[in-house]
Amino acid sequence: MDKLIIPYLKELDLEASEENISLLLSKWDGVKSELEIHYRNRDQQSALQLMKKGIVYFIQFLYCSNDRQVNSKEPIPLNQLEIKPVNFEERLTYILSRPSLFHSYRQLSELFTEQEKLFAKKNIVKKRLSQKG
């Protein structure tokens, strides 16, 4: 699985920060809107490039939400990331193997939604712990 994402890591360079995560999610929203149009029109070929962008944004979000910097030369294995959706490796493998399919888009969209929820939960817990201490 980790070998499948290496080509995508070369496009990543953001530091893990709240501001960059907001930027990533904003970019994903734009890509998602365009993808919806292409899939509604059954235009898988046009959707392919956007799906590749979406995959890059998800991987970046995954690392950033785990407070990790992406390093394409020495990537952190995905199984070492603490905050991640259930079965995300299998789901991401499916997406990477068939990126132009509508079902891959739905899976990617769901992965983003689940990761956003996990990231928000992490921040709430961190905030509560800092208030107690």
Whether residue 101 is predicted with pLDDT greater than 50 in this model: the reply is yes
Average pLDDT over residues 33-47: 95
What's the predicted TM-score (pTM) here?
0.85
Supply the pLDDT for residue 13: 55
Among residues 1, 61, 72, which one has the least CA distance to residue 31?
61
Average pLDDT value for the chain: 86
**Where are the chain's structural domains?**
2-132
pLDDT (0 to 100) of residue 14: 54
At 1 the pLDDT is: 46
Range of weakest confidence among 15-29, 85-99, 102-116: 15-29
d(CA 35, CA 23): 18
Q: Is the pLDDT of residue 44 over 60?
A: yes
User: For residue 17, which amino acid is it?
Assistant: S
